[in-house]
Amino acid sequence: MGHTLKDIISDPSEVQIIFLGLVTIPLSIVVTGLRLLATKRTRRKFGCDDLFAVLALLAFLVYACTPIVGAAVAGDLDDDELAVLAAKLSYVASPFFSVNQLFAKGSLFILYYRIFWSDRTFVRWVYTLATIHVCWFITFFFSLVFLCTPISKWWDVSGTEPGHCLDGDAYLVAEETTNSSMDFAMVALTVFMVRNIQSKEHMKMKLAFIFLIGGLSGVIGFVKIVMVYGTPNDYGHRIQVMDQGDLDAVTWPVQLTRTMHRDMYSLLEPSNPELAAGSKTVLITGVSGGVGRAIAEAWAIAGARAIVITGRKADVLDAVADKLRSIPAAAQTKIVTHTADLRSEGDVKALWSRARAEVGQVDVLINDAGHMNWGAIGSIEPSEWWLDFEVNVKGAYLMTHYFLNQEKPDAAASPSGTVITLNTGAAGMSVSSMSSYISSKLAQTRIMEILHAEQPAVRSFTLLPGLLKTAMTADAFKPFARDDPMLSGGMTLFLSTPRADWLRGGVVSVNWDIEEMEAHKDEIEREGRTKLSYINARLQKGGHPWEKKGEENVQNSIEISAKWTKDNGKEGTTVALRFIHMQFGDHAIAQQRLQYLDDHADLGEIFGSIIDIPCATEFGTCIWEASAAELWGRWRQSCDPNDGISHMGHSAMHFYLGLGS
């Protein structure tokens, strides 16, 4: 929902930036003013170094004031709008850092020249460094301005606009490494020159200290690089821990099918004739975000009879409506916009009254509006924590309630139609600082399941839209957020067709392959593969059948194995060894097994009889005399690896001791 100025200032990360600006802005003004005052008092004419210092100050003021301006004009913005505003302000401000550095160092170069002009070697170094610095400015200034193609891709937080951007982190590393190295070179050059001037030693020390302070700017550059790559992300892990070599690493934990889809494919293409929606009317919430907007566009491409879109900002809805009307396939589609706060029952009721008056009965409801808070339990205000439930649960419930209670041509008819609620793969995890969001999304999923149980004629689904670049995406996950938002649009169209009837009441992800799921339809329906589970245990009369551990388990497995061998001879050995492996394949209890056998020497004879070969007998008689490693070596020496039975015993030793080959 909306962010106010108070919300932004309450954000620790935002308030730090604002506070830093409020401190450094007056400080830089005072320092530059003192410089100019010193020039005047020494009766020296104002030179280019003074002019460059003033220009550097002006560039810094633009750069530093931008976050403060952003906080002041934020108003009542939602997540996506705030992210777009921040990205646009970042695009405006970032180049001014390069401008500031150009004039700040330029001022110093002129100052150094004025002080040490008599040393021709020093002057050559000044010219060399100044040339490098100008080249640095030209390269990185224009690289930043055109970092994204088209430029508007810079503030495309939803990832829906075609184009690409260079890696911002790589840009920062290259820029700051060169810039900071320049700072260190300038400091080293001036400190060297101070050593050669004719002055008292304590004066030289003071001058050298002053120049060394300038080296802090170089240190800060490398600190910025470390902060980008080493700051803990919102999930409490380090960014570099992520396996960025596999861009699907975050998607695999919620992947049901072997085949994964992250880009649009023919089955879900909105223009697919099988997904034609010419006879359907759809109502979509949350269209101000990238997913909701993509869903609306997909239904327009599919030629829906009518599309009702809702959100809290009239101007955003109008912009989306204009885009929908520009789609050729939607020439005959009626587009209706209506602002509403889904937390308000009055607003929701008015929305449905408007929809009824404008388009008649709604066939498909898509609940995409959502909200996510960040903060550990107890760290944010209860009302703020509860806001996720207000939007994600109450809002979705109110929309579903009025969908079910639409006036129908046949007053006696039971509710029908399709309800699709957008959810998240994070609902299956316990992630720090996401307690309100995850628990509200779990509630959403269960409500959809219960709706299916209560209203069999209503086709209810929970849809996972994949990982997308939105305002709610944590920075650590942005490299992995590459799912096409239009996949959600195509999937909502598919779920509205009879072909998806068997998936009703369950969870479906845009990343899952529909045809692969259809091939395993019986298992999915029988085992409830797309439904929520409660506790990971077999709850039943008599309780969960616990695994047997310790001495009782060892004794039971040996007795059973010995009986199999006795009853079946050597043919039973394979079965016996497989049973032992099955019981004790876990390396974690290998030491426990060895200790038990150490305490029961007579069991060596039992093992000897189980394997029933000479080298196996040796294993039985020596097991309490040797360590696991020694035993392994003796086994390999005494057994013929080409002997079938010995090879089987070799494998048994490998499994039993839990050692490597």
Q: Residue 117: its pLDDT value, please?
A: 81
What is the residue whose two structure tokens read 């060596």?
604
Q: Residue 623: pLDDT band by 50, 70, 90 thresholds?
A: very low
Beta strands in 400-516 (DSSP E): 417-422, 458-464, 507-509
Give percent above pLDDT 70 in the chain: 67
Residue 133 confidence (pLDDT) above 80: yes
Q: Residue 112: its pLDDT value, please?
A: 81
> What number is the average pLDDT over the span 42-67?
87
Q: Residue 559: its pLDDT value, please?
A: 57
Residue 539 confidence (pLDDT) above 80: no
| 306, two tokens | 């009518």
Q: Residue 440: pLDDT band by 50, 70, 90 thresholds?
A: very high
Top-confidence residue, 235 or 292? 292
| 587, two tokens | 């390396």
Top-confidence residue, 11 or 89? 89
**Which is it for strands 164-165 and 148-149: parallel, antiparallel or unpaired?**
antiparallel
| Residue 571 CA: distances (Å) to CA of 393, 559, 645, 648 | 61, 17, 10, 12
Q: Residue 347: its pLDDT value, please?
A: 96
Highest mean pLDDT out of 182-196, 238-252, 488-502, 538-552: 488-502
pLDDT tens for each residue of 412-426: 577 889 999 999 988
Q: Residue 183: its pLDDT value, please?
A: 82
Per mean pLDDT, which range of 251-260, 290-299, 335-344 is the poorest? 251-260
Contact predicate 321/335, CB 8 Å: yes
Q: Residue 612: its pLDDT value, please?
A: 39
Highest mean pLDDT out of 394-398, 484-488, 557-561, 593-597: 394-398
> What number is the average pLDDT over the span 208-233?
55
Top-confidence residue, 327 or 110? 327
Residue 551 confidence (pLDDT) above 90: no
First to last CA, the chain: 58
Judged by DSSP in three states, 520 sits in coil
Signed CA dihedral, 513, 518, 522, 525: sign only: positive
Residue 434 confidence (pLDDT) above 90: no
Top-confidence residue, 656 or 449? 449
pLDDT tens for each residue of 444-492: 999 999 999 999 899 999 999 998 876 666 666 677 878 899 999 999 9
Top-confidence residue, 295 or 178? 295
> What number is the average pLDDT over the span 355-363?
95
Per mean pLDDT, which range of 55-64, 84-93, 306-315, 605-614 is the poorest? 605-614
Contact predicate 495/488, CB 8 Å: no
Q: Residue 138: pLDDT band by 50, 70, 90 thresholds?
A: very high
> What number is the average pLDDT over the span 143-153?
88
Residue 324 confidence (pLDDT) above 90: yes
> What number is the average pLDDT over the span 120-135?
90
> CA–CA separation, 36 vs 632, rounded Å?
83
- Long-range CB contacts for residues 342-349, cutoff 8 Å, separation at least 24: 342/285, 342/310, 342/369, 342/391, 342/394, 342/395, 342/396, 342/398, 342/399, 343/1, 343/390, 343/391, 343/394, 343/395, 345/398, 348/395, 348/398, 348/399, 348/402, 349/402
Backbone angles phi, psi at 322, to 5 degrees: -60, -40
> What number is the average pLDDT over the span 400-419?
84
Q: Residue 253: its pLDDT value, please?
A: 83
Per mean pLDDT, which range of 157-171, 471-485, 491-505, 637-651 is the poorest? 637-651
Q: Residue 467: its pLDDT value, please?
A: 86
pLDDT tens for each residue of 17-41: 667 777 778 888 888 888 888 888 8
| 478, two tokens | 């942005």
pLDDT tens for each residue of 207-220: 566 665 655 665 56
Residue 622 confidence (pLDDT) above 50: no
Top-confidence residue, 597 or 645? 597
Contact predicate 371/393, CB 8 Å: no
Residues 6+ apart with CB under 8 A from 503: 461, 495, 517, 530
> What number is the average pLDDT over the span 573-582?
44
Q: Residue 473: its pLDDT value, please?
A: 66
Chain centre distance of CA 282: 30
> CA–CA separation, 583 vs 556, rounded Å?
10
Q: Residue 141: pLDDT band by 50, 70, 90 thresholds?
A: very high
Other beta carbons within 10 Å of 228: 15
Contact predicate 427/445, CB 8 Å: yes
Judged by DSSP in three states, 375 sits in coil
Give percent above pLDDT 90 in the chain: 37
State the burial class of residue 209 (Cβ atoms within 10 Å of its Cβ: 0-12, 13-18, 19+): exposed
Q: Residue 367: its pLDDT value, please?
A: 97
pLDDT tens for each residue of 504-516: 999 999 999 999 9
Contact predicate 487/264, CB 8 Å: yes
Top-confidence residue, 467 or 392? 392
| 219, two tokens | 């240190």
Per mean pLDDT, which range of 46-50, 398-402, 460-464, 634-638 is the poorest? 634-638
> What number is the average pLDDT over the span 415-440?
89
Residue 655 confidence (pLDDT) above 50: no
Indicate the average pLDDT of the chain. 77
Q: Residue 175: its pLDDT value, please?
A: 86
| 504, two tokens | 């009703």
Top-confidence residue, 588 or 353? 353
> CA–CA separation, 176 vs 153, rounded Å?
24
> What number is the average pLDDT over the span 584-594?
44
Q: Residue 36: its pLDDT value, please?
A: 87
Q: Residue 396: pLDDT band by 50, 70, 90 thresholds?
A: very high
